[in-house]
Each structure stands twice: as structure tokens, then as C-alpha cells.
Amino acid sequence: MIAPNPSEKTFLVRIKRQDAESQPAYWQEFEVPVKPAQNIISVLQYIAANPTTTSGEDVEPVVWDSGCLEEVCGACTMVVDGQVRQSCSCLANEQLAKTGKDHIELEPMTKFPVVRDLFVDRQRMFDNLKKVKAWVPIDGTHDLGPGPKETPEQQEERYAYSRCMTCGCCLEACPQFTKDNTFVGAQAIAQALYFNQHETGKKLKGERLDELSGPGGVADCGNSQNCVKVCPKEIPLTQAIAKVGRQLTVHAVKNFFSAK
Amino acid sequence: MPETHPRVIVVGGGLAGLAACVRIAEAGTPVDLFSMVPVKRSHSVCAQGGINACNDVARQQGYSEWQHMDETLIGGDFLNHQPPVYEMAHFAPKIINLLDRMGVPFNRTSEGMRDLRLFGGSLFKRTHFAGASTGQQLLYALDEQTRRYEAQGKVNKYEFWEFLWPVTDEEGRCKGIIAQDMRTMEMKAFRADAVVMASGGNGLIYGKSTMSVICNGAAAARCYQAGADLGNPEMIQVHPTAIPGEDKCRLMSESARGEGGRVWVPRQQNDDRHPLDIPEEERNYFLEEKYPGYGNLVPRDIATREIFWVCQEGYGVGGENQVYLDITHLPQATKNKLAAILEIYEKFTGDDPREVPMKIFPAVHYTMGGLYTTYAPYDPETDTITPASAPKREPNQGMAFGDPKNMMTNVSGLYAFGESNYAYHGATRLGANALLSCIFDGLFNGLSVANHAQQSGAGAHGTPAAELPQSLYDKFLKQEQDKLAKITASTGSQDPYTIHRELGVEMTAAATVVKEEGRMLQAREKLAELRERYTDLKISDTGHYTNQNVSFARALGDMLVYADALLEASLARKESRGSHYRSDYPERMDEEFHNTSRVAFNAESGRPDITWEPIPSPLVPLRARTYGKTDVVEDKKTQEQEAAAS
């Protein structure tokens, strides 16, 4: 974290804070000097080093989650002026120009329990990966030759899904995914497809589809298509949901006949 | 706390840590995995370009594992250890196959084979890649396999837990760790029969680097203060091409050059024309001119210095510290392959690199030095793994598979894997060798850890961790609780973020591309001043819940300790080798310095003690590292440097 040197021109940042999950939320406002190519992380770093509100109150530094600052780790997702996104790739001057306001509002994601301030607990997303068995069931790490061949087209499709960084934007934007229901949402469904498409990954296709056919599965999708609009990696999430939907239909028919 | 015997703790969930988990769990030993972040967010995701391994195509063009080893050794200016590098290069093709089986979406040729790209330090295509986000794809594959073991109860994750200190028994063997939950701030002792540090690099010591905010080197620095030595801490890689930023420097992958990107500056100083309006003959492609063979793909330290010098001489774009990295001429298909990195540039600068050449400058990128580790060289007499029908290797060709010594620090039972150790990359790491060394450590040396853990408790190997008295763990727990209480209660005047900023600025100025005694002595004074100010901290958050302020302040103390070791080793190495370039000692001096700088923490003085440890060369004799640099240019360069220095 770098504490910037003070400079002249400033803008305001309003931050929704919460001391712990059980505590009430409250807003605080900070004044931050304008710097070129300044992203939200630099803004938060400045506030951490200068934790004084516009009303002159010395407060505890704001807590947030971050990692790579290059939009590949997924850590720093938050709600910026009402829109969910990674805060590292959000440039303050562009954001101010976009909204036409003199301030930026930062809030934690609303679909996950708040740990503190802007830092939320997204464990549910990782648990869902366990649920849909998001892995290739290899025999072990011994040298058993190369993996299955695939065409460049197959690789391209899988690569798109492989870039999911578990950031949670799709779930924040989804009207069906709520804090207390069981819907797994676009992220886990797309990952199920990713592994169903792999030659060895397919071995668990049936188990994945069983998991997605019940409550909390694909049928809970309301088709609002919000997920694909907010995905920072432009993963074709609605296409994935549709494809898994078709796989489920085939799976159900197969189950029906094999049960006879 | 599960108290079965044996147990292993892995600290860090990047490629090295996850590969270790998978291998150790596969060997039947339960693993407790500690990470400051959910492991899927580890810094390995930032690796872009690819992973090196000899492959069928390159082999038929005359390439071999031996040559991969040789490139790695000369790239590292012979400061690396030859048997581990031999093993890594020969193991590499197996790693690619394994990752392929795990489902990594490696780019494909039209026939469906794994595609390859050219990378620095080689004239052969030997780099496998998945778009321009290879590290992310590899990390995810290992994360998925770890999750599989987690679902089976063989791996237990402690995410958002910070490693604080290794627990050692009375004989100095590592028997567990003290760690803290970064959310609830609960601090606990954990028992283990072996501990693997896979805690990555230390870029945050430089303030801004290409590394993630978690790469502060504090975990390694804590082991160092607990008695584990450092090896070559002065060896820091400055990547030639990064995008300078306010909060960090973002990497622009070597793959941009591997796919045909060219580095240039206008021949005329302060040429303010649009770059695309500058005709070809008025551009200086300085790397291609000086290194006709390797061109833009000379090893990173060389490219970095050339860019640094060209800017120092006033030829930087707009007179500033930046040069062009140009991919505008490449075909669309190639640009598509680079999409992930081009998007990063566009997002953070607002310019489209497909249309306008990128402006880049070197930034601190990789920690070649790190925790000092040992190994057992391969010995045909004790080899039980090669089939009777196959010829055995010669002595020193590789490491003894499964030997507990492999990548163990000088503290028994404490291992260091991946970027946190010092074994493989010497004085410069070649592009696309990092992912390899991290995964190699986990997969090959994971068994060494499992074996050590199995043996511990038998005969001379001490008591199993599960049977050690609680008082031993309580002693270390109290040490850490007291340390934290002291920081939390600080009522001084020094803001930790300001100290950190000054540390970064000073280290970047004194100990990166070009080092020189006078400037480093100045930095030594500055570090002493910062250490003094650190004793007078001002903590703005004194709470006991998710307190990032005290966690950062605590890590800052460890960063100051690591910076001290790094600087002192830089001062002591009075030669130039790989990334360590001394303008006052520009030559490589093998007689005096073909040695590891082994740095021990002196608990009394709180300062580093340096000894020089010879490096055996059983496989490849030392030779000069020129990369076909043209002599004419060499002489001109020397004159120019002399002129610039005077």
C-alpha cells in the first residue's frame, strides 16, 4: 500500500461501512486528492493512510479485499456507484466523468455476508464449486502421457469459461440469487459446463447434472440475463446456462428410461 | 484441531503450495493449507506468458532437456544449483502432460496438439501457453485438484489465515506454526511434522512492483528471523516491460515480444510525433540492433538495463522513463492470442494497444533469491526408481527422488518451495520458468516432505508433533500475542503506510536495475532511520476484528528486516552477475563471487550476517554470458556508460 503525497484538486468518496456482520451499516465521506490514472484501490490506499472524514473525524481505516490489482484474482469486487465490478480496474476520473457527479459511492456486495466494511465472505462460491465437482477426475500425478487432444475451436470455447475468477459479479446482479436461498447461480453452472466439455471431465457429468437438477439448480434461473452483462471477463454465462439446461433434459430422459 | 500423525502444513496456496498439497495428500499424508487469501486468488494468477518444457517439435529441431537446463543456468549466470535445475528441466515435459490431463485449456494447433511460443533466453519454441493468462489457468487446475482432496477430507484449508512464526522444538526442528485468522483475529498454534513455506516473493518491499498486495515477503522474513537462512537475497528480477501505475506496476507479458512485439524509441530525442507517424528508419529498435540473434527476447535483466539506459540517455518517449512496446503490426490472429494482456493495458491506460504502441518501463517482478534450501544430488548407487532395464543417470544428474533433504531449509522440517526459495533461477529467471519451478517443487519435492513427516518421531528424528507438550506451542503463541499487543498499543507518531512508501521509494532507487556503493550506503542509513521510526508507530485501528491496519504494521517490520538483508547482500556482492548489476563493479568475478550469499539473521544485533558458500558445477562449466551481443555495439555501449557515469 502506498500513501500518496497530498496534492491540490480533490473529489469526494462516500463509503458504506459496517464494523461486523451483526452491526448496522453507516456512511462516511472522505476527501481525496485527484491523481492521474488513479483507480479505486489507490483511493482506498489514500484513505487508509489518511483516515479522516470530511467532518474532521479521525476514524478507523476502511477495510477492503484486494489482491492482484490487475483484474485477474477477483478479490476486489465491490459496488461502485450502484454497479458491481472490480475496483482495481475502475479509474476514478472515468467514473466521475461517467456519472457526472462530484463524488464516488462505494458499497460492499449485498449478496454475501459482510466481514467488515467493503470486505465480504464469498465462501459460498467456493463451496458451490465443490457441489458441482468442478474438477477433472485424473488418476493421479504420475506420468501417464498427454491429456486428450482438442481442436482450437474447442479450446477457445473452454478457455472462455476457464477465465472465471470467482469474483461474484454475476451473482450480485442476479435477481434469483439471494443471501439466504440455495440457488448456485451462473458461476457454478458455467463451471459445470466447463468440466462437462472436457473429455475426462465428462466422467462426472451425470453427478454434476444430478446436483443441478434439484432445488437451487438450473431451474431456479429466472433468465434475467443480468449475469452476462456484468461479467468482467465476458464469459458467455447465459449460453452456458442454456447448454447445461439442454444437457439436463437429455440427462432426465436417459434417467427416465434407465429407471424402467 | 485434528491431531493425527503425521501431518503437514503448507503455507501459501499459489502454484507451489497447491502442487505440494496435491502431491502430499496423494502420498497419504493429511495437509493443513494456510493462505492469506482464498487460494484461487493467489498471485500465481498474474503469470501470463507460459510454462517451459522440451517438447516433441523442439526436440526434432535439436532441442533437449539438457539444453533447457543449460539455458536456465546461463540465464541465471551460473548462480543456480545444477542438479536441481537438471531435474527440473527433465521433469518439465511430465508436468505439461499432467496439467494437460487436469484439463488446462492449452492453446492448440489445427491438428489439436499443444501450441508453442517463443520466449526469452531461447532460440527454440518451448513455451506452452493458455492464451495470455497461463498462470491463472494452471493455478485453477491445481486449485480444482486440491478441492477434490478437500472434498475427500485429505486437505484442510485455512483461508484468510496469516502465518506468523514457525514453531521449533528444543533441537530446533520445525514442528508447527503460529497463525492468525485475519477476520476474527483469533491466534492459534498448529502442530505439524513438516512445514512447507510456499509464500512467494517480496515485491512489496519495493512499494510498487508487478506483484499482488499480499507479496510482502513477511512470511519468509519471519522464518529468517526464526533461524532459516536466506540465499542470494540481492537477486531481484526487474521485468523489462510493465505499465507504471499509481498503486502498482502492471505486467506486460514477455509473450507480447514472444509473439513478435518490438521494443523501440524514436531516434530523435523528444520526438513528439504520433508513434505511427514516425517512419521505420527513424525508429531505434535498440534490442534488435545490439542482439541480432535474440533481439527482443534477450533475458530480462539485459532487456531491462538496455531500456533503462536508453531512457537515461534521454531517448525515452517524450523524454520520460518509457519506451514503446509495439504489437500494432501483428496479424489479428496473433493479437487475439494476446487478448488477455492487451485488455489489461487498455483498461488501465485507456489506450488500445492494437492501434497505438504501448508505453512501458521496467518494474520489480520476481524474487530469485529467497530461503536457503538444500538437496540430495542424484546418486546411481542409491537410485531405486530407475527400472533395472534402463540406464542409470550419472552422479549429480538431478536430485535423489523423495530424499527428505530436497528443498529443506537449514531448519529441519521447514521447507521452502516456489518463489520463496532460491535454488533454481540464480541471478536471473528466464521467462516461463517460474510456473515450472513452482509446480516442480510441489510435485517432485512434495514426496520429500511426506517422507520427512513419516520419519519424524522415529529414532533420531525427534517426537511426533502430536505428542509434543502443549507448553512448547503456548510459548510461541505467547510470543506472537505479545508482539501483536505491543503493535496494537502503539501510540507514537509514525504512520506505517508512510514508512512503507519511503521504504519502497528508497529500495527502488538504490537496489534495482543499477546498484552502486555510494547510493546503497545512503540507503543503509535510510533503512536504519526507518527501523528507528518503526519503533514509534501510530496505529489508527486498535480494534480486535479484521484489523488490516495492525496486520500491515506487523508485516512492515518484517519487510524492513528483509530489505536490510537484501541491501547488505547487494553491497557485499562486489561484482555484476545477471540481475545484480553494479556500475562500480561491472564485471562478473567468478573467483570471488561464484558463491551463494548465505545470509543468517543475527538475533543479537538484529542485522544480517553474510557468508559465501561455493556453488559446485558438476554438469556445465562456467562460460561468458553474451547472447551474441555485437562487439562494436559492446564497445560503444561501454564508452557511452563511461560518459554517462562521468
Q: Where are the domains of chain A?
A: 10-119, 122-259
Final residue in a domain of this structure, among B304, B334, B360: B360
CA dist B607 and B611 (Å) reads 13
Final residue in a domain of this structure, among B304, B330, B360: B360
What tens digit of pLDDT does each residue of B573-616 get?
A: 999 999 999 999 999 999 999 999 999 999 999 999 999 999 99
Extract the C-alpha cell encoding B642: 563511461
What tens digit of pLDDT does each residue of A99-135 get?
A: 999 999 999 999 999 999 999 999 999 999 999 999 9
- Percent share of chain B, pLDDT over 90: 89
The answer on B322 and B391 residing in a single domain is: no
Q: Is residue B567 part of a domain?
A: yes
Q: Is residue B610 part of a domain?
A: no
Which residue among B40, B340, B546 sits closest to A116, beta carbon to beta carbon? B546
Give the model's pLDDT for residue A3: 52
Q: Chain B residue closest to A71 (CA)?
A: B344
Extract the C-alpha cell encoding B203: 515485491
Q: Are B27 and B447 in contact (CB under 8 A)?
A: yes
**CB contacts, 8 Å: B149 with chain A:** none
Extract the C-alpha cell encoding B520: 546503497
Q: Is residue B608 part of a domain?
A: no
For residue B98, pLDDT over 60 is answered with yes
What tens digit of pLDDT does each residue of B331-357 get?
A: 999 999 898 889 889 988 888 999 999
**In the predicted model, what is the mean pLDDT of residues B535-553?**
94
Final residue in a domain of this structure, among B543, B571, B588: B588
The answer on B296 and B373 residing in a single domain is: no
Q: Are A173 and A111 in contact (CB under 8 A)?
A: no
Note the CATH number of domain A10-119: 3.10.20.30
The answer on B186 and B171 residing in a single domain is: yes
Q: What are phi and psi of B258, to 5 degrees?
A: -60, -30
**CB contacts, 8 Å: A200 with chain B:** 101, 103
Cis peptide before B6 (omega within 30 of 0): yes
Q: Are B49 and B121 in contact (CB under 8 A)?
A: no
The answer on B268 and B154 residing in a single domain is: no
Q: Is residue B605 part of a domain?
A: no
What tens digit of pLDDT does each residue of B285-329 get?
A: 999 999 999 999 999 999 999 999 999 999 999 999 999 999 999
The answer on B146 and B117 residing in a single domain is: yes
The answer on B416 and B346 residing in a single domain is: no
**In the predicted model, what is the mean pLDDT of residues B83-109?**
98
What tens digit of pLDDT does each residue of B391-446 get?
A: 999 999 999 999 999 999 999 999 999 999 999 999 999 999 999 999 999 999 99
For residue A4, pLDDT over 60 is answered with no
The answer on B333 and B204 residing in a single domain is: no
Amino acid found at B590: D
CA dist B579 and B368 (Å) reads 9
Q: Is residue B623 part of a domain?
A: no
Give yes or no for A20 touching B (CB within 8 A).
yes
Give me the residues paired with residue A80 across strands. Answer: A83, A106
CA dist B6 and B24 (Å) reads 11
Burial classification of residue B294, based on how many CB atoms lie within 10 Å of its CB (0-12 exposed, 13-18 middle, 19 or more buried) = buried
For residue A15, pLDDT over 60 is answered with yes
Q: Is residue B595 part of a domain?
A: no
Residue A5's H or E segment, with its range, is none
CA atoms in the 13 A half-sphere facing the CB of B314: 6
> Tell me, what DSSP letter sits at residue A161?
H
Interface test with A, best of B94, B109, B213, B537 (most A CBs within 10 A): B213
Q: Chain A residue closest to B242 (CA)?
A: A70
Question: Model confidence at B629, in pLDDT bands (50, 70, 90)?
Answer: confident
What tens digit of pLDDT does each residue of A142-181 get?
A: 999 999 999 999 999 999 999 999 999 999 999 999 999 9
B-facing residues of A in 47-106 (CB < 8 A) are 48-49, 51, 58-61, 63, 66-75, 88-89, 91, 94
Complex ipTM tops 0.90: yes
The answer on B157 and B51 residing in a single domain is: yes
Give yes or no for A42 touching B (CB within 8 A).
yes
Under an 8 A CB cutoff, do B145 and A135 touch?
A: yes
Question: Model confidence at B646, in pLDDT bands (50, 70, 90)?
Answer: very low
What tens digit of pLDDT does each residue of B490-499 get?
A: 999 999 999 9
Q: Is residue B624 part of a domain?
A: no
Give the model's pLDDT for residue A258: 85
CA atoms in the 13 A half-sphere facing the CB of B341: 32
Question: Model confidence at A260, in pLDDT bands (50, 70, 90)?
Answer: low
Question: Model confidence at A1, in pLDDT bands (50, 70, 90)?
Answer: very low
What tens digit of pLDDT does each residue of B191-229 get?
A: 999 999 999 999 999 999 999 999 999 999 999 999 999
Give the model's pLDDT for residue B632: 41
Give the model's pLDDT for residue B636: 45
**CB contacts, 8 Å: A19 with chain B:** 543, 545
Give the model's pLDDT for residue B246: 84
What tens digit of pLDDT does each residue of B510-525 get?
A: 999 999 999 999 999 9
The position carrying cell 533433504 is B405
Question: Model confidence at B641, in pLDDT bands (50, 70, 90)?
Answer: low
B-facing residues of A in 125-164 (CB < 8 A) are 126, 129-130, 133-138, 140-141, 143-147, 149-152, 154-155, 158-159, 162-163
Query: What Å distances lie between residue B204 and A70, B178, B250, B447, B578, CA to CA?
Result: 15, 23, 13, 32, 22
Give me the residues paired with residue A17 across strands. Answer: A26
How close is the nearest chain B Cα to the Cα of A187, in Å?
14
The answer on B258 and B179 residing in a single domain is: no
What tens digit of pLDDT does each residue of A175-234 get?
A: 999 999 999 999 999 999 999 999 999 999 999 999 999 999 999 999 999 999 999 999
Number of domains, chain B: 3
Q: Is residue B48 part of a domain?
A: yes
**CB contacts, 8 Å: B530 with chain A:** none
**In the predicted model, what is the mean pLDDT of residues B53-74?**
96
Question: Model confidence at A61, in pLDDT bands (50, 70, 90)?
Answer: very high
Q: Are B426 and B578 in contact (CB under 8 A)?
A: yes
Which residue among A61, A126, A200 sits closest to B38, beta carbon to beta carbon? A126
The answer on B257 and B156 residing in a single domain is: no
Give me the residues paired with residue A78 across strands. Answer: A85
The answer on B349 and B460 residing in a single domain is: no
B-facing residues of A in 220-259 (CB < 8 A) are none
CATH number of the domain that residue B55 is part of: 3.50.50.60
How close is the nearest chain B Cα to the Cα of A119, in Å?
9
**In the predicted model, what is the mean pLDDT of residues B121-127?**
93
Extract the C-alpha cell encoding B5: 500423525
Give the model's pLDDT for residue B245: 87
Catalytic choice (B300, B305, B577, B588): B300
Which residue among B46, B495, B543 sits closest to A60, beta carbon to beta carbon? B543
Judge whether B393 counts as a catalytic residue.
Answer: no
Mean pLDDT of chain A: 95
**CB contacts, 8 Å: B349 with chain A:** 37
Extract the C-alpha cell encoding B384: 531405486
Give the model's pLDDT for residue A37: 81
- Within 8 A by CB and 6+ apart from A50, the residues are A3, A30
Which residue among B344, B504, B548 sits closest to A71, beta carbon to beta carbon? B344
Q: Chain B residue closest to A36 (CA)?
A: B246
**Domain that residue B562 falls in:** 471-588
Give the model's pLDDT for residue B503: 98
Which residue among A1, A67, A165 sits closest to B500, beta carbon to beta carbon? A1
Mean pLDDT of chain B: 94
The answer on B485 and B429 residing in a single domain is: no
CATH number of the domain that residue B584 is part of: 1.20.58.100
Question: Model confidence at B45, in pLDDT bands (50, 70, 90)?
Answer: very high
**In the predicted model, what is the mean pLDDT of residues B500-510?**
96
Which residue among B41, B106, B247 sits closest to A45, beta carbon to beta carbon? B247
How close is the nearest chain B Cα to the Cα of A162, in Å?
7
Helix, strand, or coil (residue B259): coil
Q: Does the structural domain A122-259 have CATH classification 1.10.1060.10? A: yes
